[in-house]
Chain A
């Protein structure tokens, strides 16, 4: 009801804005007041909904039903907003009519930005890698400084619809625009596949439906929302999704903090828990039982290494041994169960040498990790690997590890400031001033989650190291057995040294468990687990919405309207955009349903690609009038090319894709994920060099740059709205 009221106000306001009515600002305030009203009611209703479910749980509502209600209620809500906000107007569809207040755009950007990886994966990465994982925290927040200083206000002043739009207008001709479209689609598509994959996993976990069905359920929610209402619907949905995901993230962490320390502000207090974790790490690394387990894994690793030397002979020996065991058991009339077990062992042996090789290499990697102290994890608070005061190899290890940390931070930051689905959000605010404020709000809302994630990692680590390790196997906490049942790949325990007690190296834990199991670790009722899953779903859906819209707009606006048919009517463009959105979404769902193994690498690589392709051309376009179109096109190609080339040389999956066989040679020890550290400077250098070699841009282009720089100028750029 009140949502409709807000919409009506907004419609009046749009007319006023267009006619330059003096009441424009006033009605903008009225619109914001109406929004505040709507979202206050929404927040209250959401809390009441969660509380009602909590009460019903006490009365015996089953877990399956709680999950299903959460899923249907949230997806229904998002779809409802989509239906209410349906539109065929181009400015509404592409940029939400440019009247989203700074605070709300901040929340929408927060949800747009924080993906399933941030919500579910980040705390796990921090748990497993300690300090080096903090590169993600710094990278994914510090990038907003670049957005605020170099891009957002100027793109808003430019005031068109997409990022390739800016490249096309600033640099002239179709080539820069087309390169922009290609890079935008390339980065966004890999990202959207990962989100839909996440949607499938969460839906499956929440309700028990099959993974593929989960994908298509989630897809329904995404499509109903962005298909009908475009950016307008996506914006207001993202605001609701932000509220769901932030409550879902903070609640279990605050609870865990109260349980462990008595203080409800985990971000301020976990330093002391970190101290205890560090002290416990020292104890564990000297514990004789731990050393015993490590020794067993070391033995396994060296056995596997021997097998790997001559895999076909080893496989044959295994088969002979298993056959012999089986026939002996049969001959001695052993109980049926052990005969079956021996039979299964024989049939489970790898069929081919290749399969054996693959399996053994995986097993060996695992055994290698587990033969190291602390289950292969570095001490949590230790900055970088190696030792600057040690011998040559330790010093070298330290230098390389530090260099990679800095390079990763750089790529994530520049990549953040170059991802099109984030940048287009700043087209949707009413003014340059609000664009600047909006970046601050965005980062504030994002930081709220990002400074909580390291706290969660440490609190869970404290719980595992002090309460779980050393417990007899028959007294392990419930959450361990529960998650082991859900998926042994996520969490498993094996009593390797048969002492009846759990050692740290006997526990295998996947990163995603840390966040998903946090409510259970804190001893919260199941309804909170449902809430956390709904939060993860909100994070994945909101990011997927933004990405799909970016891809569809690039294709319909930049390729079709600007390059193929400049006379196309607005309605036709919007309709085309909707069709394309559907096609891209189905394509992404199809790819995701095949569970691509290297999707995580591709997502992290997207940052390096976006950084190298967009950042130099965009910033130089605004800050250097001399930058020319030819140079920008060459720079984008060179930046992307360098990044791709380095990855093709060094990343295992890319190497197999491009059939690279020469041995891996890292440049200065930089990991392939940070290839952008080469691509970005190359992009800048090429644009600067070739700009100086080519003719100065036309006065019209220089006027455009002036127009973008000064908020007061009314200038050359065409103003559709």
Chain B
């Protein structure tokens, strides 16, 4: 029973985290691109939206999946969901 409620909490938090990160993903990918013309102020030489599409968003993607991997490792421990590795 106890393990079960822990698991439900684990899954709920996982889904919420994915939701938040997907929002960032969506904003960076589709939001920024949609307003690319408007966002062309100078950013170290690049028009900002050009830099975002060429460099910024790939780096944001790396950052959010690294964050997700670390958060889930912690979540595994908190809710006793670590795998039995050894």
A residues near B, CB below 8 A?
Answer: 20-25, 131, 134-135, 137-138, 141-142, 144-145, 148-150, 153, 157, 267-275, 381, 383-384, 388, 398, 402, 405-406, 409-410, 413, 430-433, 436-437, 439-440, 443-444, 447, 450-451, 454, 706, 709-712, 714
Q: Is the CB of A383 within 8 A of B36?
A: yes
B83 contacts A436, C-beta separation under 8 Å: no
Bound CA span A548–B44, Å: 44
Tell me if A436 and B72 are in contact (CB < 8 A): yes
B69:A436 contact, CB within 8 angstroms: yes
CB–CB A383/B65 < 8 A: no
Do residues B68 and A137 form an inter-chain contact, with CB atoms below 8 A?
no
B11 interface hit (Cβ, 8 Å): yes
> A431 to B86, alpha carbons, bound, how many Å?
10
Given known A-B contacts A142-B29, A383-B40, A710-B10, A274 and B50 have beta carbons under 8 A apart? yes
Partner of A134, one of B18, B40, B43, B50: B50
Verify A450–B68 contact, CB threshold 8 A: no
The 8 A CB mask of B65-86 against A (1 = contact, 0 = none) is 1101100110010001111111
**B5 at interface (Cβ–Cβ under 8 A)?**
no
- B1 CB-CB contact with A under 8 Å: no
Beta-carbon contact of A436 and B86 below 8 Å: no
Closest beta carbon of chain A to B49's beta carbon, Å = 6
The 4 closest A-B pairs by CB, nearest first: A271-B45, A383-B36, A436-B69, A271-B46
Task: Give the residue of B7, B36, B65, B86 whose beta carbon is less than 8 angstroms from that of A144.
Answer: B65
Kindly list chain B residues whose C-beta atoms are within 8 Å of the C-beta of A439.
Answer: 65, 69
Nearest-CB distance from A430 to chain B (Å)?
8
Give Cα A381 to B37, complex, Å.
Answer: 10
Specify the main secondary structure of chain B where it touches its partner.
helix
- A142-B57 in contact given A25-B85, A433-B83, A712-B80 (Cβ < 8 Å): yes
Chain B residues close to A by CB (< 8 Å): 7, 10-11, 18, 21-22, 25, 29-30, 33-34, 36-37, 40, 43-47, 49-51, 53-55, 57-59, 61-62, 64-66, 68-69, 72-73, 76, 80-86
CB <8 Å contact, A436 and B85: no
| CB closest residue in chain B, given A443 | B62
Total A-B residue contacts, Cβ distance less than 8 Å: 146
The reply to whether B72 and A454 contact each other, CB–CB distance below 8 Å, is no
Given contacts A23-B86, A714-B84, A131 and B53 within 8 Å (CB-CB): yes
Assuming A20-B86, A25-B85, A138-B58, what are 16 further A-B pairs, CB within 8 angstroms? Answer: A22-B86, A134-B53, A138-B29, A138-B53, A141-B57, A148-B65, A268-B44, A271-B45, A272-B45, A381-B50, A406-B30, A431-B83, A439-B69, A440-B66, A711-B82, A712-B82
Query: In the complex, what residue of chain B is closest to A439 when comparing beta carbons?
Result: B65
Residue contact A142 to B76, C-beta cutoff 8 Å? no
Q: List 15 A-B contacts (CB under 8 A).
A: A25-B86, A131-B50, A134-B53, A271-B43, A271-B44, A406-B30, A413-B29, A430-B85, A431-B83, A431-B85, A436-B68, A440-B66, A443-B62, A447-B58, A712-B83
- Contact indicator A711/B81 (Cβ below 8 Å): yes
Query: Known: A144-B61, A409-B30, A440-B69. Is A711-B46 also a contact (CB below 8 A)?
Result: no
- Picked from A23, A436, A714, the residue with its CB within 8 Å of the CB of B73 is A436
A431: chain B residues within 8 A (beta carbon) = 83, 85
Once bound together, how far apart are the Cα atoms of A606 and B65, in whole Å? Answer: 25
Interface centre among A142, A144, A145, A454 (most CB of B within 10 A): A145
The answer on a CB contact under 8 Å between B47 and A381 is yes
A270 to B86, CA, bound (A): 49
CA distance A159 to B34 in the complex (A): 39
Given A148-B68, A433-B76, also A383-B50 (CB < 8 A): yes
Residues of B close to A273: CB separation below 8 A = 45
Distance (whole angstroms) from the CB of B19 to the closest CB of chain A:
10
Contact call A384/B11, Cβ cutoff below 8 A: no
**CB atoms of A141 and B61 under 8 A apart:** yes
Chain A residues with Cβ below 8 Å from B53 are 131, 134-135, 137-138
Q: Report the separation of the CA atoms of residues A386 and B51 in the bound assembly, to the nearest whole angstrom.
A: 21
Q: Which A residues are in CB contact (< 8 Å) with B62?
A: 440, 443-444, 447
- Chain A residue at smallest Cβ distance from B59: A447
Give the distance to chain A from B56, nearest Cβ to Cβ, in Å. Answer: 9
Instruction: State the CA gap A443–B69 with chains docked (Å).
Output: 13
**In the bound complex, do residue B55 and residue A709 qualify as a contact, i.e. CB atoms below 8 Å apart?**
no
CA distance A145 to B51 in the complex (A): 20
B40's closest neighbor in chain A, by CB? A383
A450 to chain B, nearest CB (A): 6
Assembly CA distance A432 to B57 (angstroms): 26
Q: Which of B21, B33, B73 gathers the greatest number of chain A CB atoms within 10 Å?
A: B33
Closest residue of A by beta carbon distance from B76:
A711
A141 to chain B: which residues have CB within 8 Å? 57-58, 61
By the criterion CB–CB under 8 Å, are A274 and B46 in contact?
yes
What are the residues of chain A within 8 A of B58 when measuring CB–CB? 137-138, 141-142, 443, 447, 450-451
- A275, A440, A709: which contacts B11 (Cβ < 8 A)? A709
Please indicate the chain A residues that have their CB under 8 angstroms from the CB of B68 in the complex.
148-149, 436
Q: Which residue of the partner chain B has the closest CB to A438? A: B69
Q: In the assembly, what is the distance between CA of A301 and CA of B67, in Å?
A: 55
Q: Which residue of A lies closest to B22 (CB)?
A: A149
User: Min CB distance, B68 to chain A, in Å?
Assistant: 6
Chain A residues within an 8 Å CB radius of B84: 712, 714
Residues of B contacting A433 in the complex (Cβ-Cβ under 8 angstroms): 69, 73, 76, 82-83, 85
B33–A409 touching, CB < 8 Å: yes
Roughly how many angstroms separate A381 CA and B13 CA in the complex, as a whole number?
A: 41
CB distance from B63 to the nearest CB of A (A): 9
Q: How far is the CA of A141 from the CA of B63 in the complex (A)?
A: 12
Contacts of B50 in A (CB 8 A): 131, 134, 274, 381, 383
Residue of A436, A437, A706 with most partner-chain B CB within 10 A = A436
From residue A557, how far is it (CB to closest CB) to chain B in Å? Answer: 24
Chain A nearest CB from B84 CB (Å) reads 7
* Residue numbers in B under 8 Å from A430 (CB-CB): 85
CA distance A410 to B30 in the complex (A): 9
Residues on A with C-beta less than 8 A from B76 are 433, 711-712
Whole-angstrom distance from the CB of B52 to the nearest CB of chain A? 9
Q: Which residues of A contact B82 (CB under 8 A)?
A: 433, 711-712
CA distance A428 to B33 in the complex (A): 35
Given contacts A22-B86, A272-B45, contact A712 B81 (CB under 8 A): yes
Closest Cβ of chain A to B38, distance in Å, is 9
- With a cutoff of 8 Å between Cβ atoms, the chain A residues found around residue B34 in the complex are 402, 406
Residue in B22, B37, B54, B83 whose Cβ sees the most chain A Cβ within 10 Å: B54
CB distance from A706 to the nearest CB of B (A): 8
Closest Cβ–Cβ distance, residue B5 to chain A (whole Å): 13
